[in-house]
């Protein structure tokens, strides 16, 4: 039984004609290919949110829906906030979500919904018999990371998400983010050129080092738009893929977040953080995308403020894992969509995604989150992971 879950629901999967038992995908004895694989679970930050995320899982898997509802109960009963489910209709089987279909939502709803989704996806994966050897998170994904690693419980995780959500609204719209498929050195050249053309000395920063060949750059909206225009017309950067990310409502991981330091830390200091400082009591080792190496400090208000202010080092962390673990490492991304697949593979690590959002240009929604989860289970088993039997049977 899950050690993290504070209630019990053994009916994790309901088999039917359309949803056969997960064990049907990996009941062969010769499925494992690697002798000692290591599982790294990555809780990637917001940006891939969409109105139907988790809906099919909530319809079919009672444990997933119960986890979502428990998150919402804690939000209301412990932290005095209005129900996310009632306000937005997210996750509720048969309900129509009230949020924008394009995923451009108020930051409060993005942060809370992403935390709900990642916690409940981990509860589901954990109940299927998989254990993480390592965990990491990027941006607000580090909230669920601390839950999955065993640093704190569900109630604390929802409290941290509440602190993020209530204070981030104060800087909503302070900037924008653009993804650029270049290395960090070339990204700095682009930043310098755009600032020079704008007659400014600051206002753009690398906010995330995704991989050796990709970064995210955040800054004021005017400068991000100028960068997008520059990249689309510059001969020196002809053919470089770039995309402004409208789903990110502020300039995370830049100095533009500094005005909320005091209220953010004050909100977090009301919560008991980092319950388990004894490494022997933790579920999995943590790689910090804030510090760029193994976590060796408390997940306290100072740590999470660094999470808000400093760039994430996702690519560096994944490369370090590849160097230390070699071909035995497999990364499972926990998010609403496999946003980091290419970046992970560029770092030399095998990748498994979980659920995917519907194709925006599809006339008919043929996505099936339940099949996608079973597909992920199949890939993990083929990589050499054996589920703990008896969890489902």
Let me know if residue 64 belongs to a domain: yes
Supply the DSSP symbol for 24. G
Based on the domain organization, do 167 and 221 belong to the same domain?
no
Picking from 248, 270, 304, the residue at the C-terminal end of a domain is: 248
Based on the domain organization, do 29 and 82 belong to the same domain?
yes
Based on the domain organization, do 29 and 133 belong to the same domain?
yes
Based on the domain organization, do 162 and 197 belong to the same domain?
no
Angle ∠(101,105,107) on CA atoms, nearest 5: 160
**For residues 133 and 136, what is the distance between their CA atoms, to the nearest angstrom?**
11
Let me know if residue 73 belongs to a domain: yes
- Does the pLDDT at position 309 exceed 70? yes
Based on the domain organization, do 123 and 181 belong to the same domain?
no
Based on the domain organization, do 92 and 47 belong to the same domain?
yes
Based on the domain organization, do 89 and 104 belong to the same domain?
yes
CATH number of the domain to which 295 belongs: 3.40.366.10
Find all residues with CB under 8 Å of 370, minimum gap 6, and list them: 18, 19, 56, 57, 60, 61
Which pair of structure tokens corresponds to residue 42? 């990555």
DSSP string, 273-315: ------GGG-SSEEEETTTTEE--S--SHHHHHHHHHSPB-HH
Please tell me the total count of domains within the chain.
2
The per-residue pLDDT for range 167-183, each reduced to its tens digit, is: 998 999 999 999 999 99
Find all residues with CB under 8 Å of 349, minimum gap 6, and list them: 40, 318, 321, 322, 329, 330, 331
For tokens 């109105």, the residue is 51
How many CB atoms within 10 Å of residue 269? 12
Picking from 215, 248, 281, the residue at the C-terminal end of a domain is: 248
- Does the pLDDT at position 9 exceed 60? no
Picking from 200, 225, 248, the residue at the C-terminal end of a domain is: 248
Based on the domain organization, do 36 and 64 belong to the same domain?
yes
- Which sign does the torsion angle of CA 191, 194, 198, 203 carry? negative
**For residues 343 and 229, what is the distance between their CA atoms, to the nearest angstrom?**
24
Based on the domain organization, do 146 and 201 belong to the same domain?
no
Question: Which pLDDT band, with edges at 50, 70 and 90, does 1 fall under?
Answer: very low
CATH number of the domain to which 194 belongs: 3.30.70.250
The per-residue pLDDT for range 320-377, each reduced to its tens digit, is: 999 888 878 999 999 999 989 999 999 999 999 999 988 766 544 556 999 999 999 9
Q: What is the pLDDT of residue 155?
A: 95
Let me know if residue 255 belongs to a domain: no
Q: What is the pLDDT of residue 73?
A: 98
- Does the pLDDT at position 100 exceed 80? yes
Based on the domain organization, do 207 and 239 belong to the same domain?
yes
Based on the domain organization, do 232 and 210 belong to the same domain?
yes
DSSP string, 221-243: HHHHHHHHHHHHH-STTTT--EE
Based on the domain organization, do 163 and 304 belong to the same domain?
yes
- Does the pLDDT at position 386 exceed 50? yes
Let me know if residue 10 belongs to a domain: no
Measure CA of the first residue to CA of the last residue in the chain; give whole Å.
13
Let me know if residue 2 belongs to a domain: no
Strand pairing report for 176-180 and 204-211: unpaired
CA distances to 19, 110, 203, 223 from 220, in Å: 47, 20, 6, 5
Q: For residue 311, which of 214, 217, 186, 170 has the smallest C-alpha distance? A: 217
Let me know if residue 53 belongs to a domain: yes
Give the range of the structural domain holding residue 202, as residue numbers without chain letter: 176-248
Phi, psi of 201 (to 5 degrees): -110, -10
Let me know if residue 124 belongs to a domain: yes
Let me know if residue 11 belongs to a domain: no
Global pTM reads 0.89
Average pLDDT, the chain: 87
């Amino acid at each position: 039984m899950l050690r993290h879950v504070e209630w019990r629901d053994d009916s994790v999967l309901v088999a039917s004609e359309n949803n056969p038992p997960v064990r049907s995908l990996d009941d062969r004895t010769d499925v494992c290919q690697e002798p000692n694989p290591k599982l790294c679970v990555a809780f990637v930050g917001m940006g891939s949110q969409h109105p139907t995320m988790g809906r099919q899982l909530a319809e079919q898997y009672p444990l997933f829906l119960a986890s979502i509802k428990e998150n919402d109960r804690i939000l209301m009963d412990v932290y005095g906030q209005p129900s996310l489910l009632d306000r937005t209709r997210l996750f509720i089987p048969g309900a129509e979500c009230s949020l924008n279909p394009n995923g451009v939502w108020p930051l409060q709803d993005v942060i809370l919904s992403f935390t709900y989704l990642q916690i409940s996806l981990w509860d589901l994966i954990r109940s299927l018999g998989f254990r993480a050897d390592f965990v990491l998170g990027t941006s607000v994904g580090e909230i669920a990371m601390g839950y999955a690693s065993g640093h704190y419980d569900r109630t604390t995780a929802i409290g941290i998400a509440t602190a993020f959500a209530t204070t981030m609204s104060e800087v909503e719209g302070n900037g924008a983010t653009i993804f650029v498929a270049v290395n960090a050195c070339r990204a700095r050249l682009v930043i310098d050129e755009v600032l020079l053309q704008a007659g400014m000395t600051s206002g753009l920063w690398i906010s995330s080092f995704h991989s050796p060949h990709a970064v995210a750059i955040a800054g004021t909206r005017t400068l991000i738009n100028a960068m997008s225009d520059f990249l689309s017309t510059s001969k020196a950067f002809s053919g470089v893929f770039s995309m402004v990310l409208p789903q990110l409502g502020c300039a995370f991981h830049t100095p533009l977040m500094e005005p909320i330091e005091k209220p953010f830390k004050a909100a977090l200091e009301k919560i008991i953080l980092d319950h388990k400082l004894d490494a022997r009591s933790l579920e999995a080792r943590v790689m910090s995308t804030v510090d760029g190496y193994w976590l060796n400090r408390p997940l306290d208000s100072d740590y999470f403020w660094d999470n808000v202010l400093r760039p994430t080092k996702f690519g560096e962390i994944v490369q370090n894992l590849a160097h230390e673990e070699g071909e035995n490492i497999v990364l499972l991304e926990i998010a609403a969509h496999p946003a980091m697949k290419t970046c992970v593979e560029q770092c030399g690590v095998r990748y498994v995604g979980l659920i995917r959002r519907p194709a925006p240009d599809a006339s008919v929604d043929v996505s099936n989150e339940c099949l996608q989860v079973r597909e992920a289970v199949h890939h993990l088993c083929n990589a050499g992971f054996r589920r703990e039997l008896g969890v489902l049977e």
